[in-house]
């Protein structure tokens, strides 16, 4: 099941190495307990997270990131200004993990 994560180039597109590593580690950690369907859903969530961070931090397009968040009903707390990509990724993944522990995450 981890091959689906490790071989999905779309998961890390637009991210620097540090954020990509954080995301892949988080996905692998959460995928260990899931079946194929759960891993596919988790990868989709990972691609959304990666795209949001790339839009906000690297493409300087917060309006596009906000539109993505609204369209996909992403419920994590949104940044209010410039954000460091690593910090933003960490905050989102922490929020997602906390939601998963409450039964509302990925």
Q: Which domain range does residue 38 map to?
A: 2-101
Confidence of residue 15 (pLDDT cuts 50, 70, 90): very high
Global pTM value = 0.85
- Asked whether residue 38 is domain-assigned, the answer is yes
Dist CA 105 CA 64 (whole Å): 23
Among candidates 103, 94, 106, which has minimal Cα distance to 46? Answer: 106
Confidence of residue 90 (pLDDT cuts 50, 70, 90): very high
- Asked whether residue 106 is domain-assigned, the answer is no
Long-range contacts of 22-29 (CB under 8 A, 24+ apart): 22/86, 22/89, 22/90, 22/93, 23/49, 23/50, 23/89, 23/93, 26/93, 26/96, 26/97, 28/2
Our count of domains for the chain comes to 1
């Amino acid at each position: 099941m981890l091959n689906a994560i490790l071989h999905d180039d779309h998961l890390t597109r637009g991210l620097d190495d540090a954020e990509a590593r954080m995301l892949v580690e988080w996905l692998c950690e959460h995928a260990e307990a899931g079946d194929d369907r759960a891993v596919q859903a988790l990868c989709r969530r990972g691609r959304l997270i990666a795209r949001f961070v790339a839009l906000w931090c690297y493409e300087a397009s917060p309006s596009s990131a906000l539109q993505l968040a609204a369209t996909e009903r992403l419920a994590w707390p949104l940044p209010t200004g410039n954000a460091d990509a690593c910090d933003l990724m960490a905050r989102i993944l922490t929020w997602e993990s906390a939601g998963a522990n409450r039964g509302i995450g990925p």
